[in-house]
Amino acid sequence: MNSTPTGTARFLPERVRAADTAHLWHPYAAVPGAERPYVVTGAGGTRLSLWSEEGTYHVVDGMSSWWSAIHGYRHPVLDAAVRGQVDSYSHVMFGGLTHGPAAELAETLVALTPEPLEHVFLADSGSVSVEVAMKMCLQYHRSTGSPGRRRFLTWRGGYHGDTFHAMSVCDPSGGMHSLWGDVLPAQVHAPEPPAGFDTEPDPLYVDAFERLAAEHAGELAAIIVEPVVQGAGGMRFHHPGYLRELRRIADAYGLLLVFDEIATGFGRTGELFAADHAGVAPDVMCLGKALTGGYLTLAATLCTGRVARGIAGGEVPVLAHGPTFMGNPLACATALASVELLTRGDWRGDVARIEAGLREGLAPAERLPGVREVRVLGAVGVVELEAPVRMGEATRAAVEAGVWLRPFRDHVYAMPPYVCGPEDVAVIAAGMVAAARASLGEGPR
């Protein structure tokens, strides 16, 4: 019989460590116990309090808890939203019922996102929102007389989540899901778009992409991409002009256009949505991460009236998807508070301040041997190395410099909370440089 610890001992860091080692499996980690993560003992504002056997640390969170905690931790407005909704009701089923937080959130999202997006499906997570988007596209074509359109055109270097169909539109060979290439649905992958936010679109690349669309037009349901910033697939930036070309190509060949804005939405790139850089509206848009300010898991899939009407006109007139926690009132109330907090504040100024601080603070990394490129866009900073990051050394160096970072592959990067002041941003940038030095085998300076 398993025994359950009682009293405050269960909350001591040593006890957390023991239980974690014995039972928990962490993201992208080997068997339980193989990784020894830092124990979080507190959080507030831009900072995390961490414990390890080597000591305790108070660090600036350069990751925004995987890009979601844009307002930092224990924000009084979001705390109040959570408490207020708990005092009313925390959850009700969404089948046959509705409620104020979901309705207000949907109205707010439709008002903020590009026209003509007007319908909102509330999902549990970013990956699920991508699954729903893909299902929408497939069912739209099935309902409008083109059941053979069941594949997706995307570009390599992308990342759209860890659920099954979402994995199929991630990078097929260089990404995290190449293990499953022989069992995932076969999609059509174009080469990565040429890099550089300020580099004008390459007509030869656009022509080649359009040839792929033309070649497979009869079997393609949609184009799906991350606009402007390819996130977990490689932290690469591309010119917004490519989005305008994708819109043109989608229209020319009868395809829907899906923008995965889970990482880029809500101001991260300097515009409220990355699509706004190009002035382009997709047929379907996925949102998540920063939607609730990092408090609760929630995502949204938005679509146009044309897509919704197409599905409704089919033999099966309903979108057959309904998670248990769909439209969770607690998450919706928190998301509404987070979005209002963002849009009523000076989010453009906040992101511009972070961008300027990262550009200045990361300049020393450009001179390090073994650094391929340093790039910054909005509140995203990246130091790309020529070799894979030595995770242990890089993470430890960052923590000792007062920053929490989570490098991957050959990237040391940060997506800070928007509430970071100039001193916080300077600490983050210095921690990134320290992490790069440690990974490259150079001592601190």
Amino acid symbol at 229: V
Q: What are phi and psi of 21, to 5 degrees?
A: -60, -35
Burial class (CB in 10 A: 0-12, 13-18, 19+), 160: buried
How far apart CA 93 and CA 323 sit, in angstroms, is 9
Active site residue 28: yes
Any catalytic annotation for residue 20? no
**Active site (annotated) includes residue 260:** yes
CB 273 within 8 A of CB 114: yes
Amino acid at 333: A
Catalytically annotated residue among 57, 73, 159, 413: 159
289 is catalytic: yes
Say if strands 55-61 and 47-52 run parallel, antiparallel, or are unpaired.
antiparallel
Residue numbering of the annotated binding site for substrate? 66, 159, 289, 322, 406
Please list the residues that pair with 229 across neighbouring strands: 237
CA 331 from chain centre, in angstroms, equals 17
How far is 282 from 268, CA to CA, in rounded Å?
18
Question: Catalytic residue among 61, 260, 350, 424, which?
Answer: 260
User: Which residues are tagged catalytic?
Assistant: 28, 159, 260, 289
